[in-house]
Amino acid sequence: MGMTGIQIFKLLPKTNCGECGVPTCLAFAMNLAAGKAELDQCPYVSEEAKEILAAESAPPIRPLTIGVGDYAVTIGGETVMFRHEKTFINPPGLAAIVTTDEDDASIDGKISRFKELQYERVGLILRPELFALKDTSGDAGKFTALVNKVKDACEASLILMSEKPDVMKAALEIVKDKKPLIYAATEENVEDMGNLAKESECPIAVKGSGGFESVIPLTEKLTEMGLKDIVIDTGSRTPYKAFEDQVIIRKAALQDRFRPLGFPTITLPAEMTDDPMYETLLSAMFVAKYGALIVMSDFQPESLFPLLLERLNIYTDPQRPMTAEEGIYPIGNPDENSPVLVTCNFSLTYFIVSGEIEGSRIPSWLCVADTEGLSVLTAWAAGKFTGESVGTFINKCGIADKVKHKNLIIPGYAAAISGELEEELPDWKILIGPREASQITSYLKNWKPE
Ligand code: SF4
């Protein structure tokens, strides 16, 4: 919240009744300002004060969702300029554009790539989420045919692109339940498009004539009409200007709390170049700064996969490592004679080690200890992968009931804990496994229970 405790205090009833859980209104105001209390904890705040405080506490960049179901994309809600300040929150949605003048073979190819191009990485499925359907003819019949074709063929969330209200209206009649993004309200059609957004309860994008200044009257107009879920396209199509707009909009929303620019943005590399490689580079730039929707001309594996990885990395909380759950993971139907390995719960380590075990085709038990997401060496150095902690975990996880032997393979990088671990697990023989995951196959092939 941008207000100080004293400013908030002036809006409270000042009766010091204590029903909010603290003895005075001033203490409650201080807690509110610090984000340690919720406004509805005070039952006596006036409607007027509620309105002011709610507006003050609203996120500086409005979060909103496009689509429904598995492919719904939530964008906006960001609170920092730079990822290292805290974290970026909602990854940008990736879309491919399909136009009414494209032939069936081209459209079918894009749809089948949309369905096929899905990648599993650290336990997550990485994939694009949207199609941007563009009306190039102003013909409602052609546009609705395209909308129907894509809607029936896949579950993608949709961006409907037409500046003609009658064409947009026809398309919304088919897919408004899928909550598509209406693109776009311009200076010429803002009133009509705004009304369509209100009637259909769908989010709406504004399109400026080039530059962030050009969208301010449009977002102000839509806000006056009572619309909140707004996306900004400044209309800039040169990389320099489009990039500059992104930075200015983010800065105005976060640092200046300038409400007319406090909305997520849509960027269109597809309309900035005909060169697929350059388009991918522009998309990568907007993933980093600060596109909330990125519209490309197509999905191709060589461009999509790196963009999905970049998005994953940038939108992973830098202060919270990705983790696997602590526990026993059976790999390849292990039995009572199968090897037992232990490792940390840093997600990447888990997926690399489990992948190597799977690749070895030797059924095994993989015990994953909670190291708060630290890798083996770091966890060992931080005292979170010690003989004592691993010993306690092995004793409590129940692996002893699953195998006849008592051999425990520890990572080669954690060889230093073997002595302490032997003391913790006197019934077990501690074996030092390979340092590198790539050596797991050859190690397991030579392993015999002792
Ligand atoms: S419940 Fe409201 S009126 Fe009562 S002390 Fe808390 S802030 Fe003041």
Top CATH class of 327-446 equals alpha beta
Question: Looking at ligand 1, which residue's alpha carbon is closest to its atom 4?
Answer: 17
Options 3.20.20.20, 3.30.540.10, 3.50.50.60, 3.40.1010.20; which CATH number does 64-314 get? Answer: 3.20.20.20
CB 182 within 8 A of CB 168: yes
**Structure-block tokens of residue 390:** 């691993």
**Structure-block tokens of residue 125:** 């499925």
* CATH superfamily of this structure's domain 5-57: Electron transport complex subunit B, putative Fe-S cluster (1.10.15.40)
The pLDDT assigned to 184 comes to 97
- Nearest Cα neighbor of 197 from 180, 212, 209 is 180
Question: Looking at ligand 1, which residue's alpha carbon is closest to its atom 8?
Answer: 25
The pLDDT assigned to 1 comes to 56
Order of all β-strands in the sheet with 429-432: 327-331, 364-369, 340-344, 407-410, 429-432
> Tell me: the pLDDT tens digits for 59-97?
789 999 999 999 999 999 998 999 988 899 999 999 999
- Nearest atom in ligand 1 to the alpha carbon of residue 13 is 3
Q: How far is the CA of 48 from the centre of ligand 1 (A)?
A: 16
CB of 38 shorter than 6 A to ligand 1: no
Domain-by-domain residue ranges, the chain?
5-57, 64-314, 327-446
CB of 53 shorter than 6 A to ligand 1: no
CA 68 to chain centre: 16
Backbone angles phi, psi at 344, to 5 degrees: -90, 175
Mean pLDDT value across the chain? 94
Q: How far is the CA of 55 from the centre of ligand 1 (A)?
A: 20
Q: How far is the CA of 22 from the centre of ligand 1 (A)?
A: 8
CB of 46 shorter than 6 A to ligand 1: no
CB of 19 shorter than 6 A to ligand 1: yes
Question: Looking at ligand 1, which residue's alpha carbon is closest to its atom 6?
Answer: 20
CB of 18 shorter than 6 A to ligand 1: yes
**Structure-block tokens of residue 197:** 């957004």
Q: Can you give the pTM of this predicted structure?
A: 0.78
Q: What is the DSSP string of 209-256?
A: SSSGGGGHHHHHHHHHTT---EEEE----SHHHHHHHHHHHHHHHHTS
- Nearest atom in ligand 1 to the alpha carbon of residue 15 is 3
Mutate to test the pocket of ligand 1, among 6, 14, 20 (most ligand atoms within 8 A of CB): 20
Per-residue model confidence as pLDDT tens for the chain (450 residues): 568 889 899 999 999 999 999 999 999 999 888 777 888 889 999 988 888 887 776 778 999 999 999 999 999 999 899 998 889 999 999 999 999 999 999 999 999 999 999 998 777 899 999 999 999 999 999 999 999 999 999 999 999 999 999 999 999 999 999 999 999 999 999 999 999 999 999 999 999 999 999 999 999 999 999 999 999 999 999 999 999 999 999 999 999 889 999 999 999 999 999 999 999 999 999 999 999 999 999 999 999 999 999 999 999 888 777 888 899 999 999 999 999 999 999 988 999 999 999 999 999 999 999 999 999 999 999 999 999 999 999 999 999 999 999 999 999 999 999 999 999 999 999 999 999 999 999 999 999 887
